[in-house]
Amino acid sequence: MARIASHGIAVIRCVSRRGVNEERFRDVAAFASTLAEEDRLLVTDVRDVAFQRPISEVLDETLKQSQIACASEGVDYCNSTWNMENLKSNFPDRINEISDFEIYCAGVIAGKGGVLSEFCRKIWETSIHANSFNGDQIAMNVVLRTEPFTKCTNFLDVNNTSICHYGSLAHHNTDLSVRVKNGTCVASDGNPVGIVHQYTRDRSTRHSVLRKHKVLLTFYTGKLGEAVGKRLGYVPGWTPYWKL
């Protein structure tokens, strides 16, 4: 946080009682409600998102004719083991409704003012009914299928180069090819993808990106601190279903 603040970025601390995955949407909704309708925001996960082109450029690309933008993972719930187990754990009564949905990732969302505020509020209100940790993405995919959001959202194809979810590259219907060049994830045309999410899933990519931004030691120091905090009881010891 100190490093982020040192770059002139305002850091606002909040108390999390349920979990940051869900509660971030409550807080973003409150913040976005104070903005003008055309003010643009980018809402992302923490730790595993790298900005490789100016954020304004990515927002120009994704929100040109839309109020909200999010990118596909290139697979339906019923064909994704991780997401299907998440669905069964958190919303077992909605499996038939959701299992054929194409998955859009909640890790990176672009949006404008009041519409984004209402979108995030709806996600929060839906996610708090999840049985456990990690119901936010399912909630977002449900809300995306409701009006007015279906009509005002830019549903980015998995092969877009504005927002890349690294974990999607392994899916059989993904044609996007990304390689790492000097710590930057670039598409087949040699140009950087705008935002790369989940880059930490691959060790080589993770180390290359972190070295470029000179935060490799910071990353692992944070991981160590989290592990020690859990052992001592200072940090909640979340045990998601995929680690049981």
**Exposed, middle or buried by CB within 10 Å (0-12, 13-18, 19+), for 37?**
exposed
pLDDT at 172: 65
Lowest average pLDDT, out of 8-17, 38-47, 54-63, 77-86, goes to: 8-17
Alpha-carbon distance of 31 to 198, in angstroms, equals 26
- Closest by CA position to 179, among listed 163, 162, 199: 199
Q: What is the mean pLDDT of the chain?
A: 91
Task: Give yes or no for residue 244 having a pLDDT over 60.
Answer: no
- Which tens digit of pLDDT belongs to each residue from 177-220? 899 999 999 998 999 999 999 999 999 999 999 999 999 998 89
Compute the CA torsion angle 59, 64, 69, 73 (nearest 10 deg). -90
Q: Domain 16-160 classified CATH 3.90.550.10?
A: yes
Compute the CA torsion angle 161, 21, 30, 53 (nearest 10 deg). -20
pLDDT at 193: 96
Q: What is the 3-state secondary structure (H, E, C) of 158-174?
A: CCCCCEEEHHHHHCCCC
Is the Cβ–Cβ distance between 116 and 70 less than 8 Å? no
Provide the residue ranges of all domains of the chain, joining segments of one domain with +.
Answer: 16-160
- Give the rounded distance of the alpha carbon of 164 from its chain centre: 10
